[in-house]
């Protein structure tokens, strides 16, 4: 089954994710999703000259994306497992890859943003919001939990990262004040 058919099957019948057997072609589709998502993000970053050109630069973005999603999937699985929900971590990671196709939307968005038709931050935020929504739907299916719990699970790693960044910035500020006084 080619990735498009697998994706179509998952869109039409998301309950396949909760089936006893892993949906056919999920591995390929998920990994291709990460690749497509990375291409979208990389093109966005290149259009904004935020990363240097070249294969190494692309590989770095891909590895970052894979690492971050691996961490997110791991944390989410841990949370679900601790709260009694049952599901597969590997399947979740690959399903997250399928949602990463949405990041390819960043390419046209970057053009629109550069033409001042939409704000750059708004366009990026819209894509991320779409991604989070898709992930909530997927978690709901994979772990057979309520939408609220799925949303909580998906947002927890983001909240954790946000809290860590906040603590780091407060600590940096305190450190700077201590240095100056």
Partner 1 sequence: MEEQNNSGADSNGRQPQQAAQPAQPARQEPAAARGGTALWLKIIAVLYGLSLIAAFAVVNRADTARKARTKDMDLSKLTGLQKKKDAVAVIPIYGVISQGASSRSWERGSQQTAKRIRTLAAKKEVKAIVLDINSPGGSVGAVQEIYSAVLKAKAETKKPFIARFGEVSASGGYYVGAACDQIVSHPGTITGSIGVIFSVSNIEGLMKKVGLRNEAIKSGKFKDIGSMSREMSPEERRLLQAMIDDSYEQFVAAVAQGRKMTVEQVKPLADGRIYTGRQAKEAGLVDKFGDLQDAVDAAGEAGGLGKNPRVLSDGDPFENLMSLLDTKLSLRGSAVEQALDATPRVEYRWSGR
Q: Which of 93, 104, 113, 154 binds partner 1 (CB under 8 A)?
A: 104
Nearer of residues 108 and 162 to partner 1, judged by Cβ: 108
What per-residue string of b and e applies to 83-115 under the rule 16 or more CB within 10 Å gives b? eebebebebbbbbbbbbbbbbbbbeebbeebee
Q: What string marks each residue from 150 to 179 as x (binds partner 1 by CB under 8 A) or -?
A: ----------------------------xx
We find the least distance from the C-beta atom of residue 49 to partner 1, in angstroms, to be 8
Alpha-helix residue ranges (DSSP H) falling in the chain: 3-12, 26-47, 55-82, 89-99, 106-114, 120-143, 147-180
Distances (CA, A) of 70 to 7, 15, 93, 149, 167: 20, 23, 6, 20, 23
Nearer of residues 52 and 162 to partner 1, judged by Cβ: 52
Q: Does 142 participate in binding partner 1 (rule CB under 8 A)?
A: no
- 3 state SS for 17-61: HHCCCCCCCHHHHHHHHHHHHHHHHHHHHHHCCCCCCCHHHHHHH
Q: Which of 17, 26, 41, 43 binds partner 1 (CB under 8 A)?
A: 43
Nearer of residues 46 and 149 to partner 1, judged by Cβ: 46
Give the binding range for partner 1 (CB under 8 A) out of 35-43, 61-69, 82-90, 144-152. Answer: 35-43
Among 22, 11, 41, 144, residue whose Cα is nearest residue 93 = 22
Q: Does 47 participate in binding partner 1 (rule CB under 8 A)?
A: yes
Q: Does 115 participate in binding partner 1 (rule CB under 8 A)?
A: no
Residues of this chain that bind partner 1 (CB under 8 A): 1, 4-5, 7-9, 11-13, 36, 39, 43, 46-47, 49, 53, 104, 107-108, 110-111, 178-179
């Amino acid at each position: 089954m080619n990735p498009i058919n697998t994706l179509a099957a998952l869109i039409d019948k998301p309950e396949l994710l909760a089936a006893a057997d892993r949906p056919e072609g999920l591995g390929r589709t998920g990994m291709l999703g990460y690749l497509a998502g990375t291409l979208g993000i990389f093109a966005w970053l290149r259009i904004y000259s935020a990363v240097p050109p070249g294969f190494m630069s692309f590989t770095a973005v891909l590895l970052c994306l894979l690492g971050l999603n691996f961490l997110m999937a791991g944390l989410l699985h841990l949370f679900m497992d601790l709260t009694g929900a049952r599901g597969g971590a590997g399947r979740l990671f690959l399903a997250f890859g399928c949602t990463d196709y949405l990041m390819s939307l960043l390419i046209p968005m970057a053009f629109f943003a550069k033409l001042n038709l939409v704000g750059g931050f708004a366009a990026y935020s819209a894509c991320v919001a779409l991604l989070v929504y898709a992930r909530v739907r997927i978690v709901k299916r994979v772990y057979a939990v309520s939408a609220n719990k799925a949303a909580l699970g998906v947002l927890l790693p983001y909240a954790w990262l946000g809290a860590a960044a906040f603590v780091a910035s407060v600590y940096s500020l305190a450190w700077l004040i201590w240095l100056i006084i």
